[in-house]
Amino acid sequence: MQGPAIDLVLLALLILFVGIQQYARPQLRNRLWFAGWVFFFLSYVVWEFRLPNPVLDALRDALRFDLLLLAQLTFVTSFVASAKRLPQVVLVGLIVGVPAVLAFNAHQISVFPLTMLVSAVVLWQVYGVYGMNALLPTQWRLRRLMILCICIGYGSAFVAHLLLDKNLDVQDWVLAELLLCCCVLYGADDQRRSLASFAGTLGFLAWAVFYLLDGGVTFALLPVRLHWVGVFWNVPKYLVAFSMVLQMSEDARIEKEQLADRYRDLYEDFRLVFERNPHPMWICSEATSRVVSANRAAVRAYGYSERELLEMDVMDLLADPEPDEETAANQADDVLGEPVRLRHRLKDNRVIAVDVTEHRILFQGEPARFVMAVDVTEMERASRELQHRASHDALTGLPNRHELYDRIDACLERSARDQRKSVLLTIDVDYFKQVNDTYGHLVGDECLKAVAARLQSRIRQVDTLARTGGEEFTAIIGGLSSAEDAPKIAAGLLSIFATPVTLGESEIQLSISIGAALFPDDGTDRQTLLRRSDEALYEAKRQGRNRAVFAPKPAVQMDLEPAGAN
């Protein structure tokens, strides 16, 4: 039936409203509903055009039928849109359904052979049965049975009416069949008995009945056409549209409720994790930096009560000097989400090392930061101890050979930059094997500790003394203004062994031999200086020990009277 222009306006507004709804909830089903109403609107637009040529007018009717058919197929597809075999059904539709539709279009334009028209109707039913079997889930037993009955029973009635009435409006019967399928499938995946599903089912049923009445249902071989149908022609479709909008609104409400339930569950999970986590956690305001919530682990670890924590600024926990606000903000933004090593001061004034991780969150509707602090004090201490062991001698605590090499390179680089001299001293304890043989290795180890302590007392903190062998030590001393300073340093080291080493009730007289090499006089690199100082040490031992020899031998030589028998 042709509707007035007001129907076009109402339908356009309806499509606009459905479009807004599907834009807010862009699900596939909602998009297909929107597309179906667009096709339906286009069919109305085509129907409003009057063409003087009968052939063109017939073509217009065929186009209108195709748009209506496309709209109804879109609605049917929307109810099974999640089916995995939908592409197969579309392919079969192109092979089987399209020829049937072309036959229906040909019948609309001109007289079409009845046999071929009946064959097209049969093909249409075959396509319906195939689509039902491929798309409908097996658990939809009742709906599958109803669709099968529509394809067989309705299809048989369709063929019978077509044989009885050659002027039967085939297009209305095809559309009515699709609307009956929509009536069965509408809300099929919704187990709730809602107003939307009831209105939609009733609307599709009434819409199909109106098409059948307009298409000329035959009772007792007499055509009965109810012309009053046109008065209420648009009521069913508006009822369907209303139910779809209501269904989308209902789905949105249900989703919000489910989302609220999930948020409540997530909040409860977060609260449990927050409260029972063994690591200190707190939430601080983004605007004021004040603590707004803290877990029990934070109360235990920091020694403050929960009330005291809630009255504190997070900056109050820092043991390090507080940076300016702009620098702190920039640093916080750069490392947000990454662990940062900080020093926190506890209530008892102890300082601990913590790895702090922060994340931006919303807390009670306000911007905030979630903070977790992991105490790494013991881990940091263990790490420092491991690093110290890797670079220092276990017996004396002095740097080992690997650490010494790095410090020699740094000292030489600094001396070259400052145009100063450095001296490398290789020191060996004289006759130390006799100490081990006489007193034992335990006493020998204590002697080495005493030697290291005496040597260290004459070495500046900026310089380096290292143990590089059993009874061998090496020192690198930089910042010398002239070469004459080096013999004075060596003489000072020799003099500290003039008195015996006291271990318990025993006194052991020790002496040392020193080989020295000057930078840059005797070499400009570590390897050369080490080699030259070793050669000088060999020369010192050859000359009788308890002395210092400088390379090249004997550039400077100092002989001291032996401190005692060795």
Residues with a catalytic annotation lie at 471
465 membership: H or E segment, kind and range: strand 464-467
Whether residue 150 contacts residue 124, with contact meaning beta carbons closer than 8 Å, is answered with: no
Nearest 10 degrees: Cα torsion 348, 354, 359, 363: -20
Structure-block tokens of residue 52: 């003087």
Phi-psi region of 345 (alpha: psi -120 to 50; beta: other; left: phi over 0): beta
Residue 357, CA distances (Å) to 57, 290, 376, 409, 548 in order: 74, 17, 13, 39, 57
CA distance 311 to 290: 7
Instruction: Reply yes or no: is the peptide bond before residue 554 cis, omega within 30 of 0.
Output: yes
Rg over alpha carbons for the chain, rounded to the nearest Å, is 49
Q: How many CB atoms lie within 10 A of CB 138?
A: 7
Block residue for tokens 């820092």: 318
> At residue 488, what is the residue type?
K
Block residue for tokens 């109360």: 299
For the chain, what is the total number of helices (H) and then of strands (E)? Answer: 20, 15
Structure-block tokens of residue 223: 């055509």
Give SS3 for 395: coil
DSSP letter, residue 167? T
CA distance 330 to 208: 68
Whether residue 476 contacts residue 462, with contact meaning beta carbons closer than 8 Å, is answered with: no
Whether residue 171 contacts residue 65, with contact meaning beta carbons closer than 8 Å, is answered with: yes
> At residue 419, what is the residue type?
Q
Structure-block tokens of residue 112: 């079409």
**Bridge partners of 427?**
473, 514
Among 526, 438, 521, 539, which Cα is nearest to 476's? 526
Nearest 10 degrees: Cα torsion 166, 168, 171, 173: -120
Give SS3 for 277: coil
415 membership: H or E segment, kind and range: helix 401-418
> At residue 223, what is the residue type?
P
Which residues fall within 8 angstroms of residue 26, CB to CB, at 6 or more apart? none
137 membership: H or E segment, kind and range: none
5-24 vs 235-276: helix axis angle to the nearest 10?
10
Structure-block tokens of residue 413: 């680089």
Residue 417, CA distances (Å) to 147, 215, 420 in order: 95, 105, 8
CA distance 306 to 283: 12
